[in-house]
Amino acid sequence: MKKIKQIMLFLALAGCTQPIYAQKQAKYALDKTFIDQQLVKSAEQIKTLAAVTPVDKFPQTFRNGKNVFSSSSWWCSGFYPGTLLLLSEGTHDASLLKLAQEKLKYLEKEQFNKGTHDLGFMLYCSFGNALRLTKDTAQYKPILLNGAASLASRFSTKTQVIRSWDHGPWKYPVIIDNMMNLEFLTQSSKLSGDQKYYDIAVTHADKTLKNHFRKDFSSYHVIDYDPNTGEVHAKKTHQGAFDESAWSRGQGWALYGFTMMYRETKKKPYLKRAQEVANYILSNPNLPEDLIPYWDFDKDKISSDNKMYKNKDLRDASAAALYASALVELAEYSKPKQAKHYLQAAETIIKNLSSDAYFAKKGENGGFLLKHSVGALPLNSEVDVPLSYADYYYVEALLRYKELLK
């Protein structure tokens, strides 16, 4: 009976689309018709992508008129099947569920991948949603728990954090993105009854809370730790403009991650930090009026002589999609005035991402939903292109908002 309760609890909470209950007096700027139309348009568009995706590959981006695909080991591999699953949920289109399940077969092997911290993205956004929607514990529970064990193997009791990368000039690098993998661990504790996954998630979040933020509550991208002492060795960036800049998507990982950790733990410091990050983003003078951020909040501090950043005014739709999804949830946990502010911002972002400026016309953009994301401008990687995770969090934001309207 205890195991049954654990599984049912996982099914109730798993996935990134659990119901968000708004206050009764809330007024919504978007209606069900609009949301449903966007879900249908998204479902139609992603079928274009499905038609050109090789059986054993995963959509990465669309660049220079050509689709780019990855193997299952790429950190984004879980987003495409995850988006199919979310759209099958939002539109009740069984063909999308079938497409997702077929693709999951080629992702299963990553449950044993101990060489990456991105297993939350790869396995939880895919198999976690599959379990939530199908309730097929026999098929998906072992994969998820093997994946959780692989992720937990990257945790060090000395540093008290999960190592992000095994490459580069780092001693023990931890990126703010890593907050997104903690939901996988907290849910795995519920699914398995093993407290260790929850404990690792909380320990990692606490250390990140302590070391990853500046006084204005913007987040560093990379904190490099001493692997023997756990002390901070350096504070750097890898995808932002410079070490002290506020990389826009990094702020989204922080906002989403600490909102989620408050949901999972009810620890008030996590809620407070999520709200502080939200306020940093929404009050930032460099945030455009449409709330779709530039790729870095400090892009104006880049020297005009730096030819690497000739496109420094690029927007990042992936960061905006993250903001929207997180803000819808954060509104639930906040006092009325704050909640209204966060929800209105989410509505503005969803509306603008759904416009022709960002949402692709049917059959265009390689079948991806959103245009104008930036992967890593300093690396000249995935610059002003569609990205699978932008699509995932956009659809998640639509579904979360739809729950508000019920």
- Name the residue ranges covered by the structural domains of the chain: 2-404
Q: Any idea what DSSP says for residue 230?
A: -
Count CA within 13 A, CB hemisphere, residue 359. Answer: 22
- Residue found under tokens 């966007």: 38
**311-367 tens-digit pLDDT:** 889 999 999 999 999 999 999 999 999 999 999 999 999 999 999 999 999 999 999
The SS3 of residue 63 is strand
Tell me whether residue 177 is one of the annotated catalytic residues: yes
Which one of the listed residues 56, 136, 166, 177 is annotated catalytic?
177
Strand partners, 374: 383
Q: At CB < 8 A and 24+ separation, what contacts does 31-34 make?
A: 31/405, 32/402, 32/405, 34/354
pTM: 0.95
Sequence-separated (6 or more) residues with CB below 8 Å from residue 346: 323, 324, 325, 327, 328, 331, 397, 401
CA distance 158 to 319: 32
C-alpha distance from residue 272 to each of 184, 200, 262, 284, 291 (Å): 22, 21, 9, 18, 22
Tokens found for residue 137: 């514990």
Q: What element of type H or E holds 101?
A: helix 94-104
Predicted local confidence at residue 8, as pLDDT: 40
Q: Any idea what DSSP says for residue 233?
A: E
CA distance 381 to 378: 8
Q: Which of 340, 319, 316 has the alpha carbon at shortest distance from 328?
A: 340
**243-286 tens-digit pLDDT:** 999 999 999 999 999 999 999 999 999 999 999 999 999 999 99
Predicted local confidence at residue 27, as pLDDT: 82
State in Å, rounded, how far the first CA of the chain is from the last one: 32
The SS3 of residue 340 is helix
Tell me whether residue 118 is one of the annotated catalytic residues: yes
**92-138 tens-digit pLDDT:** 999 999 999 999 999 999 999 999 999 999 999 999 999 999 999 99
**27-57 tens-digit pLDDT:** 899 999 999 999 999 999 999 999 999 999 9
Q: At CB < 8 A and 24+ separation, what contacts does 265-268 make?
A: 265/186, 265/202, 267/202
Topology at the third CATH level for domain 2-404: Glycosyltransferase (1.50.10)
3-state helix, strand, coil split of the chain in percent (to 5) is 55, 10, 35
Tokens found for residue 43: 């479902």
Which one of the listed residues 36, 56, 93, 118 is annotated catalytic?
118
pLDDT at 191 over 90: yes
